[in-house]
Every structure is written in structure tokens, then in C-alpha cells.
Structure 1
Amino acid sequence: MNTDTRIHTNTETIQRFYDAFARLDADTMAACYAPDAVFDDEVFSLRGQREVGGMWKMLCTVTRGKGADVWKLSCSNVQADATAGQAHWDAHYRFSATNRIVDNSVEARFTFTPEGLIKTHRDSFSFWTWARQALGTPGLLMGWTPMLRNKVRKTATTNLANFLSRQP
């Protein structure tokens, strides 16, 4: 990676984001994103700070309400230069829909604005591994199929739309 002075700023943005996530502080997480940010993972495909920040607020709110007793997040391998960065994070949490415990291991990739805000954020994880833990037997048997992935995506998108409709 490049060694210019922006390395420190963008690395700090990533670290600030995950420190806030560990505290379930969605407002600080959202403030790390550019207004036109893009977020993609195995479940969500979001555009704009309202959707991206709203997703984190929804997830943090649900975790505080139904799983703060088991919530743990750790982050490692944080690296960034003037334009891009990466991190690895592990989350231990209770999936609210089933009350099942999930240990998710995620690789994150970022790009940044010149001001040090997150422009794009892509999280990658094994959907089948997640589905086995979060959904139990249905996830074990069907977690590799596009049908289950699409059902989870549709449910998550609907939940986010409903959550956002109740936000000011």
C-alpha cells in the first residue's frame, strides 16, 4: 500500500468504525460514511448514507434489545492507504429471529473519499456457514442455495425498509 499521509487517517476511520461497532454505537458508525456511500455484503446491497447507516442502526438496536448479553466484536488486520483499506472482523451474537448464537468471520474492503470517509464497503463471509448457525437445520440443508439466500435478502430488505420508515 501507498505510504502517503492519508494512510493514518483512513486507518483511523476503519478503527473508529469498528470501535463504535463493538460498542453498538450506530451514530458513530454512520458518521464514518460519505453521503453517497455504497455497502454490499451477502445479505444487503445498500446505497446512500441513510440506507447504510440505517442498516447499522437497525442491527445495533436489535442487538442491544435482544442480545447485548452475548455481543462481542473483534477487529484485526486493519490496513489502509489514501484510497483503499481492509480489515478482518469477527462477531459473536444472538440472531434475533431464531435466538441462535452466531460466530461470523468477515473480510471487509473499503474505498475512501479524499476527506477520509468510507465511499464503498464490501463485507464478505460464508453465507452457508452463517445460515447453519443462524437458522439451524434449514440453514444447514439449504444455506448453499440461491433460494434461501434470496429469501434472507428479501426479509432483511423488508425489515430495513420498515425500520427506516419509522426513523425521522
Structure 2
Amino acid sequence: MEQHELLIRQFYTAFQKRDYAAMQECYHADASFHDPVFQDLNAKQVRAMWQMLLTSSKDLKVSFSDIHIAGDTGTCTWEAWYTFSKTGKPVHNVINASFQFKDGKIFQHHDSFDLWRWSKQALGLSGLLLGWSPMVQNKIRATAKHSLAKFMSAS
């Protein structure tokens, strides 16, 4: 099995086991992360994000599949099932991940998913009616950014 594929498998297996320290070890010292909610995180922030998400989730389940590697880049699909803590609503999120590798670690990690689909599940009726709007999506991002900053300052 190719080195980068092993790294992706190691990352998501640690995710399944809720082992944020093992996930953090998969990232390069100068890593970056981006998804529709947590945008443009640096290495310190992405490590803290996974710790925050894993320590706050009570019922997270994760699966991953379709790993493809091409040189120093890779992709995979992963899915998460959990209860959104702010509303108590169940969420099933399907995420397409892309990676750039450097020095045997994840250097750039970009997750993409449908934020409106997520908001319909996590927020219920308000997400269904307004989750597509930039105003609501920016509020989701601002809340996540604030939560991460608060978590990091408490650590």
C-alpha cells in the first residue's frame, strides 16, 4: 500500500477511534485546513478543531472510502453521523476530502460538503428555509470560529 494511502487510513482510523492526538500527528507542522464551516485554519487551529470536535461529541460515528492517490495529492470520501449538540438533531454529513502531502504528512486538507444540506439537518426548519443564504452560512462560520477560539484559549 502506498505511503500516502496509509496516512489517510491512519488519519480516519484514528478519527473512528476518537483519537485526536493520533489525528494531529498526521498533519505537517505547517499544515492548513479548509471546509465550508472552518475556513482557512492553520496547523495549530486544525489540531485544536479536531480535539474540540472529538471531545465535545457524544455519539460520533465515522466511515471512509474511495481513497485515491496521485503523486503528492489524494482524495477520499468520508461520512459522519452525530447529534448536533446545539439542537439535539441528528446529522449525517457526506464529505469529499482532498489532500496535499509534504514530508510524509498532510500539508493541505480541504473538505467539501453541502452546507445547506448540513444546516437542514442540524438546524431543522430554520436551516431548511434559510440555510442556503449567505447570512445564515456566515453566522454558522462565525459561531464555529468563536467556539474554536474559546476552546483554544481554555486549553
Shorter chain as denominator, the TM-score bin is over 0.9
- Same amino acid, percent of matched pairs: 41
Gaps of 5+ in 2: none
1:52 aligns with 2:85: no
- Report the AA paired with residue 32 of structure 1: C
Query: In 2, Cα distance between the equivalents of 1:60 and 1:32?
Result: 16
Name the SS of the counterpart of 2:37 in structure 1: coil
1:10 aligns with: 4
Give the conservation status (yes or no) of the 8 Å contact 2:95–2:113: yes
Query: CA shift at 1:166, angstroms?
Result: 1.2
Count residues in correspondence. 155
Per the alignment, residue 72 of structure 2 pairs with 83
RMSD of the alignment, in Å?
1.1
Q: TM-score, normalising length from structure 2? A: 0.96
Q: SS of the residue aligned with 2:149?
A: helix
Q: Is the 8 A contact 2:33 2:43 kept in 1?
A: no
Give distance in 2, aligned partners of 1:163 and 1:46. 17
Q: Report the 3-state secondary structure (helix = DSSP H, G, I; strand = E; otherwise coil) of the residue aligned with 1:43.
A: coil
Q: Which runs of 4+ in 1 moved over 4 A?
A: none
Amino acid in structure 1 at the alignment position of 2:68: Q
In structure 2, C-alpha distance between the alignment counterparts of 1:81 and 1:10, rounded to whole Å: 9
**CA distance in 1: counterparts of 2:119 and 2:27, whole angstroms:** 28
Q: Is the 8 A contact 2:5 2:67 kept in 1?
A: yes
1:44 is paired with a residue whose SS is: coil
Q: Tell me if 1:138 matches 2:126.
A: yes
Q: Which of 144, 158, 167 is equivalent to 2:146?
A: 158
Determine if the alignment matches structure 1 residue 41 to structure 2 residue 40.
no
After superposition, give the CA deviation of every residue in 1:15-37 in whole Å (9 maximum; x if it has no partner): 11100111111111111111111
Structure-2 change in CA distance of 1:127 and 1:47 (3 Å): closer
State the TM-score, normalizing by the size of structure 1.
0.89
